[in-house]
Structure 1
Amino acid sequence: MNKLTNIQIVTKILLGTFLMFAGISHLTWSRTEFLAQVPSWVPLDGDLVVLLSGIVEITLGLGLITLIKKSAHVGLITAAFFVAIFPGNISQYVNRIDAFGLDSDEARLIRLFFQPLLIWWALWSTGAISFFRKRSQSK
């Protein structure tokens, strides 16, 4: 197990809280907004995608907060989730879809640059970067 610093623990809990909040909003008050981000090429019903992604976000958020001994693994899975949903953000930009107050090309473009930060946040705050680096060096 990797020993996390206090700042990593705090930021991991913040990310977990953020994900749980976002997941709950997927299932309730922001369903329509999230539906606007589901690319048309996804072969599932858009509302189902929103509901399933909300459940995944709640699960990841809970995992980040509670699965202390598996933080690095949960961080890796969370980062992979952020990679998996990135096409929705790109679709919103390319198709000029207004949602979440992103009502200009500039705003939608700027948002794209925040996804790599979320990926990094998930990996750094959980110690996944150092955990997997040490693990690969020991082989």
Structure 2
Amino acid sequence: MIRPAAKRTAAIRTAAIVLLAVFYGVAGYFHLATPPPFLTITPVWVPWPEAVVLWTGIAELLGAAGLIQPWSKKLRRAAGIGLALYALCVWPANMNHFAMDMAREDGGAGLAYHIPRMIAQPLIIWLSLWASGATDWPFRPRKV
């Protein structure tokens, strides 16, 4: 018998998978369809920025597909780990965007945009891991 808490957790996890898959699918599409905004925020030390933006878009699309597919829990976990690592790797571009905007006279998108974005990054990393089943932390079942 499945406990109500376990059903609720499974439903929330499924919703998180769908949310992440849509988020990464849309982001992947835009990386491929309109790379200039992503190239603008790519740090200067990143080699071959055009190729990096292209491959990040492909990684997002593949990760989204891996999360949403219903056949393999191993593939879903691998997609979640891959997307978590991806989010960690693109964090420097987000920080670069923040710094570039703050250096502009008009402040760019401003703190109201960038502060939540910086806070969201570790949450997105964790959510990718939790939704995919790569971790249950901090919602592990209590041992009785």
- TM-score, with structure 2 as normaliser: 0.75
Distance 1:11 1:68, change over 3 A: farther
Which residue number in structure 1 is paired with residue 53 of structure 2?
A: 50
Deviations 1:25-67, CA, capped at 9 Å, x for gaps? 1111x321111221101121x2222111101110111011115
1:6-25 mapped onto 2 (5 Å cutoff): 6-25=11-30
Residue 42 of structure 1: SS of its match in structure 2? coil
Q: How many residues align?
A: 125
Which residue number in structure 1 is paired with residue 38 of structure 2?
A: 34
Tell me, in whole angstroms, the C-alpha distance in 1 between the residues paired with 2:16 and 2:116.
23
In our comparison, the structure showing a higher alpha carbon Rg is 2
RMSD in angstroms over aligned alpha carbons?
A: 2.5
Tell me, in whole angstroms, the C-alpha distance in 1 between the residues paired with 2:102 and 2:62.
28
The one of 125, 128, 133 aligned to 2:134: 128
* Greater RCO, 1 or 2 (C-alpha within 8 Å, sep 6+): 1
Does 2:124 match 1:118? yes
* 2:129/2:135 contact within 8 Å kept: yes
Which residue number in structure 1 is paired with residue 92 of structure 2?
A: 87
5+ residue gaps, structure 2, are 1-6
Which residue number in structure 2 is paired with residue 137 of structure 1?
A: none
Deviation for aligned residue 1:68: 3.5
Distance 1:122 1:103, change over 3 A: same
- TM-score, with structure 1 as normaliser: 0.78
